[in-house]
Amino acid sequence: MAEAHQAVAFQFTVTPEGIDLQLSHQALTEIYLSGLRSWKKKLIRLKNGVITGVYPASPSSWLFVVIAILATMYMRSDPSMGLILAPVTNRSLSAQCQTVVSAVLFSTLLWFSLIFTMRMCLKQLLSYHRWMFEQRGKMSNTTKVWVALVRIFSGRQPLLYSYQGSLPNQPVPAVKDTVKRYLESVRPLMTPDEFERMTSLATQFESSLGNRLQWYLKLKALWASNYVSDWWEEYIYLRGRSPIMVNSNYYGMDFLYVTPTPIQAARAGNTLHAFLMYRRKLNREELKPSRVPGTVIPLCAAQCERMFNTTRTPGEETDTVQHWQDSDYVAVYHRGRYFRLRMYSSSRPLSPREIESQLQRILDDPSPPSPGEEKLGALTAGDRIPWAKARKEYFSLGVNKRSLDCIEKAAFFVTLDDDEQGMMGEDPAASLDRYAKSLLHGKCYDRWFDKSFSVVIYKNGKIGLNAEHSWADAPVVAHLWEYVLATDSFQLGYNEEGHCKGEVDASLPRPQRLSWDITPECQEQISQSLAVAQALADDVDFHVFSFRDFGKGMIKKCRISPDAYIQLALQLAYYRDRGMFCLTYEASMTRLFREGRTETVRSCSNESCAFIKALEGGEGVEVCRRLLRQASEKHQNLYKHAMTGAGIDRHLFCLYVVSKYLGVDSPFLKEVLSEPWHLSTSQTPVQQVELFDMVNHPEYVSCGGGFGPVADDGYGVSYTIMGENMMNFHISCKHSCPQTSSHKYGGQIRQALRDMLQLLCPDQREPSRTDQSQTKKDL
């Protein structure tokens, strides 16, 4: 193949006259430019490492300190208290030179000491969390002073990782406090006899084994950056042997009402170029550090490190996450064929128009897939052990290994899908449901579910994203996705014909087709994995809808937290749907701490249950309103405790891991960790509001993203609050469970949202007939 020859820098043939060496100048030039690009990246990393290493000071401040010390010396003052003027044994230097050298050394030590002191001060300041529990609008004098000090010690113009060394370690809660909070959380879910039994188990654990396990956990907290995150990644994600498709991976959607261009290759060109722009900013650490919204408090950015050039590698006992420093290409799948598409030419990134041209070549390629190639991706969608064995047996040598390495080491994975998706047709609601299922699992073989993320480009220009969960949580990927959507539409744009802007370099080599040698035995394993994945995908029941009767603007006017409001609505809807309360999971972030990930908010509380019972029991309006506000305040308090390291579930999880290492059994921990989450929820907030103009361009709004159900008889609910007047919901469950229905539960959520607003603000308008009919249809 021509593209294979272009990758060879030289060829030689043996003739009677000797060896005839033929050099490929184009290939040698590419090798040189690739190496030059690599060295530039190394220098940038070195420079950023120095800047981050001395933050919140700057490298130039060292010169200021040296000059200040030398100036004081020439004024016949010795700030070192005799250290500078101490005798130096080097006789080759004059006395004046010795004094200058000593002054420089002292200045450097003083500079490092000041940096260390500032970092420790900032670390202690960031360990203060009482500000979060103060009433909104009523800041104490202590918090005001604290805010001022944080601003002083935070420095100016930080890079992405500048605060990493100043973030506090996640604290280990006291066993007594965790047990007390746990018992409080399960009280409304148990009968008196069940609760008495659980209290006995908890008391026994607290007074005996708990203290021993806690000692080991505190020892780990002193040694490790985070006492939770490495175990959470390994035991919750990487050691899972069931399929990661549906069970672990999640997705993100395109704009809801707008498709910037209907041309598939053009949309892909802008999208892929936007990803490269983000990666460039990430590598240069030019992205602004994430902060708690509305504050100066930084969040941990450690999860960003493995965003690109990363894959999950299967193993028989546990998977591993592999990350490479750089990759100059992406892996592309189209109609059963895999391609390697270089994203750089002459050490520069391809323009959107050039990427469009290259992808159009793939779309126009009529070659059929090789035997076993079309459904090869099903191995990543099925059970992990068969995939690990197949990888070891069929992909460890030769052409299969080279092609698999090409996919796994790619910057990310791209699927050019032949389907059309998005909100379209006579039934827009049903089309959104199909769109969600397509992004979550596709055909079960046309995504590479092991990659850190896979980009899906549909035939009608719609796009989407499927992300693997072990390396990072949804907000990190959402930050990337927001940037890509905004850059595609508002910065790069399209010409009048819908194509990408710019010119095309006609000399670009064609995308390289990957070769495979799939044996019949391997094809059989692919078929088995596909059967497992297909059964799982077919069982998923999805419902996606936008709630536009009101949004967070109206909820805030009622003096209620929007997140607490939605969580209470989910509880009310579940109670109406199933006639009972359930253990509810809401994901909260712990990125206030170094290498923090998530904590669980147990949203079903005594207060929320009291409110729902009163409302459904026909209690008076004032009573229900008071109970609703109490439940909202309780939820906010639970969320704040989770964010500040005082949650329940991660602590109990780590205690359980320690017990397994020690070989001891705890009936209390075993029972706690076996309790199913029948309602798993998560909010993905919009982080870069400045990128979108919701007032002048309200149509440029994403529908957010979602995930599969956690329990076989439960629901998975993801929601996004968009602007002031819109909330998007993604509901998943399983067809195999006769008690669950995503559409029915969606209708209950709509009605619960309206009923609660009517309770808080009786003067609000009734929903439109269209909204009412949709709710009745779902119910």
Catalytic positions are 469
Backbone angles phi, psi at 178, to 5 degrees: -65, -45
- 498: alpha, beta or left? (left if phi > 0; alpha if psi -120 to 50): left
Chain center to CA of 304:
8
762 vs 18, 230, 757, CA distance in Å?
A: 96, 49, 7
Query: Contact, 588 vs 637, CB < 8 A?
Result: no
Q: Which has the closest alpha carbon to 341: 280, 248, 420, 407?
A: 407
Look up residue 516 and give its two tokens: 């495979």
Q: How many residues does the chain have?
A: 779
SS3 breakdown of the chain: % helix, strand, coil, rounded to 5?
50, 15, 35
φ, ψ of residue 470 in degrees (nearest 5): -65, -35
Identify how many contiguous H helices and E strands the chain contains and give both numbers. 25, 20
Tell me, what amino acid is at 28? L
Position 691: which residue type?
Answer: L
Residue 673 · residue 652 · CB < 8 Å: yes
Helix residue ranges per DSSP H, 90-235 = 95-126, 141-153, 175-186, 192-207, 209-223, 229-231
DSSP letter, residue 289? P
Residue 676 region by backbone torsions, left for phi larger than 0, else alpha for psi between -120 and 50, else beta: beta
The closest of 548, 533, 22, 580 to 242, measured between CA atoms, is: 533
> Which residues lie closer than 8 Å to 189 by C-beta, 6 or more apart?
581, 582, 583, 604
φ, ψ of residue 358 in degrees (nearest 5):
-65, -40
Residue 328, both tokens: 């100059």
Tell me how far apart the alpha carbons of residues 150 and 10 are, in angstroms, rounded to a whole number: 59
Kindly give, in sequence order, each residue whose CB lies less than 8 Å from that of residue 45, ignoring residues fewer than 6 positions away. 283
Q: Using the 8-state DSSP alphabet, how is residue 603 labeled?
A: -
For the beta carbon of residue 628, count every other beta carbon within 10 angstroms.
26
- 500-504: list long-range contacts, CB under 8 Å, 24+ apart: 500/266, 500/269, 500/270, 500/273, 500/351, 500/352, 500/353, 500/355, 500/356, 501/352, 501/353, 502/351, 502/352, 502/353, 502/354, 503/351, 503/353, 504/353, 504/354, 504/357
Closest by alpha carbon to 377, among 271, 518, 237? 518
